[in-house]
Structure 1
Amino acid sequence: MRVYGEGVEVFFDREDEVRTFECMSRHGHGPRLLGRFPTGRVEEFIHARTLSAVDLRDPEISAIIASKLREFHHLDMPGPKRVLMWDRLSLEKEINALESEFSGEDQCIGFCHNDLQYGNIMIDEETKALTIIDYEYASFNPIAFDIANHFCEMAADYHSEEPHVLDYTKYPDVDERKRFVQTYLTDFLELFVSHHCLIVPSVEGEEPDAEKIKDLMNNIEKYTLASHLVWGLWGIISEHVNDIDFDYMEYARQRLAQYWLKKPEILSCRVDDE
């Protein structure tokens, strides 16, 4: 039974979230919707465990996540298929500059989870089947942003004694990121149409093009900056609307500090330069 939290609607539209969940439920993705009431809903119980921070570094599990995320991005969800991430930010001058930096590039747009931390991924230990849960922040966005956000979440351990503390030495290295992207792109072709990308099945076993791997990795690294801004601002706002015992301001400070630290480096280099 899920009871909706108070104050969190400042981050997303509850009716949009409910429609997303109902659509996911009807099409067999995520838990089934069993019932609704004014302040919440009843969902199907999933016989699986939630991932831990350590699980994200397991190569086998990481590969399964990449495949599942690719499937998620391919979902044909209702609503306008336009990027929403910039609308959700409010540092106007900095956001406009960053959006302009990315606007000239061909981008694959997909239905993104936008909060793919380990607590929102469940795994069946026997079948290794993954289920992605909690769609409050889900919307159409560049797939590179969703993957970048997932990589950034590897710096967090929300079940430690200091859950707000981030360790960026745990951010995946080039080899880890490349394996993830290779798995993500395997068996799929990219079709660019007017700076949008539809992901369609290709011949089974086809290896992804090396240039596509490199381009997606470069875009992912750029979108880590957007991830830091999104969650930095989220932390600042959460300090005023959330009563959970979590140091939101310190979390926000770390995300924004990482943004300013990495921005010059990321915007001036490419993966193949590393």
Structure 2
Amino acid sequence: MAAAASDAGPELRRTSSIDRIPAEARRILHRLAGELWGADVDPAALVVSQLQGALTNEVFRITWPGGEGDPRKVLVRIYGQGVEVFFDRADEVRTFECMSRHGQGPRLLGRFPQGRVEEFINARTLSAPDLRDPEISSLIARKLREFHELDMPGSKDISLWQRLRRWLEEARSRCSAEEARQFRLEALGDEIAELENALSGVDQRVVFCHNDLQYGNIMIYEETRQVTLIDYEYASFNPVAFDIANHFCEMAADYHSNTPHVMDFTKYPDMDEQWRFLEAYLSSSGEEPSDAEVETLLGLIAKYSLSSHLFWGLWGIVSEHVNKNIDFEYKEYARHRFNQYWDTKPRILQACNPSS
């Protein structure tokens, strides 16, 4: 989960010292100033602002004066402590570069040991209410379909179940006995196996998924109404229904509220909202979907919403133990996700398997 590289949006910013930026990154900034704008970087002229809402890395907007009031900006991303337990950083950088070649997201401008420098996108980062706007939701659906059609390298196998088991082992190895009891970690191996079994053998599309489609990772160009997706740290091949289910779950989040770790699942999209999203997603191929096609996907999405709760619940537990740079109540966030899993599992699986 990360903040977006935009100049306008819901991020709350606080001005930071240039000393927050590693020396290697400052050298890259100096080089970029000459390459991009033919200018020297005066450290005293740089304005460093930390973007709020990032839950995996620290993200900074770097601004220095340009001509005629045109500020020049780039983004510096400093990797969170210990987050390599969630993904392979080298794979993530390769994905970032590949997405850039596809014309998706920001360009990579430089790398340093603790992070990277990225192009600053002059678009607006979405806010939590934007996800409920019918027009914007339709734009997201069509953009997600485009994302899913990208030809990306790497194994085309589903990563979800292996990743859940790996994160569960990480959580068990780091939690105290009391934490493990509170979060029922001893039961989650069977829960993962049950979900995998319930979804195995089902005819479903496996595509390159974003896996973290929260509002802070979606940007919109106001003039053209073009949407772009950013931050691909968790991206991998998975079923389409998982990516959409995860996006629906994110409609319950507001990472810029006074309690950013609390999710309000009364805001999970109702059936009409889900149907509209899926119609926009499926019809973007040029063919109108049948009601049966939409209903089948709705059933899969409901089941995959359960795996989304386990996914981010385990992420929260592990993050509590490894990521000390970000001010976020990871453990309480995990509690919300697990509670929602246990509360909704009987209803969802019964609805999808009425004969059981």
Given the alignment, which residue of 215, 225, 232 partners 1:118? 215
Could you tell me which residue of structure 2 aligns to residue 196 of structure 1? none
Match of 1:269, SS state, is helix
User: Post-superposition shift, 1:36?
Assistant: 2.1
1:20 aligns with 2:91: no
Contact kept, 8 Å, 1:187 with 1:208, in 2: the verdict is no
Contact kept, 8 Å, 2:106 with 2:230, in 1: the verdict is yes
Could you tell me which residue of structure 2 aligns to residue 256 of structure 1? 338
Given the alignment, which residue of 347, 352, 356 partners 1:265? 347
Equivalent residue runs for 1:65-104 within 5 Å:
65-89=140-164, 90=168, 91-104=188-201
Contact kept, 8 Å, 2:205 with 2:240, in 1: the verdict is yes
Rg larger for: 2
**How many matched pairs?**
255
Q: Distance in 1 between matches of 2:126 and 2:215?
A: 5
The one-letter code matched in structure 2 to 1:267 is: L
1:159 aligns with 2:220: no
TM superposition score normalised by structure 2: 0.70
Contact kept, 8 Å, 1:117 with 1:150, in 2: the verdict is yes
User: Post-superposition shift, 1:224?
Assistant: 0.1
Q: Distance in 1 between matches of 2:341 and 2:198?
A: 15
* Between 141-150 and 261-270, the greater mean CA deviation after superposition: 261-270
Q: Distance in 1 between matches of 2:190 and 2:271?
A: 31
User: Post-superposition shift, 1:39?
Assistant: 2.3
Equivalent residue runs for 1:1-274 within 5 Å:
1-89=76-164, 90=168, 91-188=188-285, 204=286, 206-243=287-324, 244-270=326-352
Q: Distance in 2 between matches of 1:246 and 1:56?
A: 22
Could you tell me which residue of structure 1 aligns to residue 181 of structure 2? none
Residues 72-120 of structure 1 deviation map (CA, whole Å, 9 limit, x = unaligned): 1111100010100111112322211110110021111111000000000
Runs of 4+ aligned structure 1 residues displaced above 4 Å come to none
Could you tell me which residue of structure 1 aligns to residue 183 of structure 2? none
Q: Distance in 2 between matches of 1:22 and 1:100?
A: 35
The one-letter code matched in structure 2 to 1:29 is: Q
Contact kept, 8 Å, 1:108 with 1:142, in 2: the verdict is yes
- Identity across the alignment (%): 69
Could you tell me which residue of structure 2 aligns to residue 199 of structure 1? none
Match of 2:251, SS state, is helix
User: Post-superposition shift, 1:35?
Assistant: 2.2
Q: Distance in 2 between matches of 1:220 and 1:36?
A: 37
Q: Distance in 2 between matches of 1:254 and 1:147?
A: 20
The one-letter code matched in structure 2 to 1:101 is: A
| Runs of 5+ unmatched residues, structure 2 | 1-75, 169-187
Q: Distance in 2 between matches of 1:117 and 1:259?
A: 19
The one-letter code matched in structure 2 to 1:251 is: Y
Residues 143-176 of structure 1 deviation map (CA, whole Å, 9 limit, x = unaligned): 1000000000011100001111111110000000
RMSD of aligned alpha carbons: 1.3
Q: Distance in 2 between matches of 1:2 and 1:74?
A: 28
Match of 1:104, SS state, is coil
Q: Distance in 1 between matches of 2:316 and 2:81?
A: 16
